[in-house]
Amino acid sequence: MSTAQHLRDRAWGARAVAARLESAPLLSLDAYAGADTWQCPAADEFLLCVSHYQSQLLGAAENLRWQAVVLERQADEHEAAETAAVAAALAGAV
Protein backbone atom coordinates (compact mmCIF):
# COMPACT_ATOMS: atom_id res chain seq x y z
CA MET A 1 0.00 0.00 0.00
CA SER A 2 1.33 3.41 -0.89
CA THR A 3 1.87 6.11 1.69
CA ALA A 4 -0.83 8.23 0.05
CA GLN A 5 -3.37 5.41 0.27
CA HIS A 6 -2.44 4.77 3.89
CA LEU A 7 -3.03 8.45 4.69
CA ARG A 8 -6.39 8.41 2.90
CA ASP A 9 -7.42 5.30 4.84
CA ARG A 10 -6.52 7.04 8.09
CA ALA A 11 -8.56 10.08 7.00
CA TRP A 12 -11.55 7.84 6.29
CA GLY A 13 -11.14 6.22 9.71
CA ALA A 14 -10.99 9.60 11.44
CA ARG A 15 -14.22 10.66 9.73
CA ALA A 16 -15.89 7.38 10.68
CA VAL A 17 -14.97 7.86 14.34
CA ALA A 18 -16.18 11.47 14.19
CA ALA A 19 -19.54 10.30 12.86
CA ARG A 20 -19.82 7.75 15.67
CA LEU A 21 -19.04 10.42 18.25
CA GLU A 22 -21.70 12.69 16.77
CA SER A 23 -24.30 9.94 17.15
CA ALA A 24 -23.35 9.11 20.75
CA PRO A 25 -26.26 8.76 23.20
CA LEU A 26 -24.65 11.41 25.42
CA LEU A 27 -25.65 14.06 22.89
CA SER A 28 -29.36 13.47 23.54
CA LEU A 29 -29.12 12.87 27.28
CA ASP A 30 -30.08 16.42 28.17
CA ALA A 31 -33.48 15.88 26.52
CA TYR A 32 -34.23 13.17 29.10
CA ALA A 33 -32.82 14.96 32.12
CA GLY A 34 -34.56 18.32 31.94
CA ALA A 35 -36.83 20.08 34.41
CA ASP A 36 -39.76 17.81 33.51
CA THR A 37 -37.77 14.82 34.75
CA TRP A 38 -35.76 16.04 37.70
CA GLN A 39 -35.57 19.29 39.67
CA CYS A 40 -33.00 19.95 42.36
CA PRO A 41 -29.49 21.36 42.67
CA ALA A 42 -28.03 17.96 41.75
CA ALA A 43 -30.09 17.96 38.55
CA ASP A 44 -28.77 21.38 37.60
CA GLU A 45 -25.22 20.23 38.27
CA PHE A 46 -25.82 17.06 36.25
CA LEU A 47 -27.13 19.04 33.26
CA LEU A 48 -24.15 21.38 33.45
CA CYS A 49 -21.82 18.37 33.46
CA VAL A 50 -23.68 16.78 30.52
CA SER A 51 -23.45 20.03 28.58
CA HIS A 52 -19.71 20.18 29.23
CA TYR A 53 -19.15 16.61 28.02
CA GLN A 54 -21.37 17.15 24.99
CA SER A 55 -19.22 20.12 24.04
CA GLN A 56 -16.05 18.07 24.47
CA LEU A 57 -17.46 15.23 22.40
CA LEU A 58 -18.46 17.53 19.56
CA GLY A 59 -15.08 19.27 19.75
CA ALA A 60 -13.31 15.91 19.44
CA ALA A 61 -15.42 15.05 16.39
CA GLU A 62 -14.56 18.41 14.83
CA ASN A 63 -10.87 17.84 15.55
CA LEU A 64 -11.00 14.40 13.92
CA ARG A 65 -12.58 15.88 10.79
CA TRP A 66 -9.86 18.55 10.67
CA GLN A 67 -7.17 15.89 11.03
CA ALA A 68 -8.79 14.00 8.14
CA VAL A 69 -8.40 17.09 5.95
CA VAL A 70 -4.74 17.37 6.97
CA LEU A 71 -4.15 13.68 6.19
CA GLU A 72 -5.72 14.05 2.75
CA ARG A 73 -3.52 17.06 2.01
CA GLN A 74 -0.49 15.02 2.99
CA ALA A 75 -1.68 12.20 0.72
CA ASP A 76 -1.99 14.65 -2.18
CA GLU A 77 1.53 15.91 -1.48
CA HIS A 78 2.93 12.38 -1.44
CA GLU A 79 1.20 11.56 -4.73
CA ALA A 80 2.52 14.74 -6.33
CA ALA A 81 6.06 13.93 -5.16
CA GLU A 82 5.79 10.36 -6.48
CA THR A 83 4.50 11.62 -9.83
CA ALA A 84 7.33 14.15 -10.05
CA ALA A 85 9.88 11.46 -9.22
CA VAL A 86 8.53 9.15 -11.93
CA ALA A 87 8.49 12.00 -14.45
CA ALA A 88 12.09 12.89 -13.59
CA ALA A 89 13.15 9.26 -13.89
CA LEU A 90 11.46 8.95 -17.27
CA ALA A 91 13.02 12.21 -18.48
CA GLY A 92 16.43 10.98 -17.37
CA ALA A 93 15.93 7.64 -19.16
CA VAL A 94 15.37 9.27 -22.52
Confidence (pLDDT) at 32: 80
Separation CA 81–CA 88 (nearest Å): 10
CA-to-CA distance for 59 and 67, rounded, in angstroms?
Answer: 12
- Backbone φ and ψ for 66, nearest 5 degrees, come out as -65, -45
| Own/partner long-range contacts of 42-50 (Cβ < 8 Å, ≥24 apart) | 50/26
**Please, what are the averages of pLDDT over each run of 10 residues along the chain (94 residues)?**
94 98 92 79 89 96 98 96 87 76
| Spans of all domains in the chain | 3-27+55-93
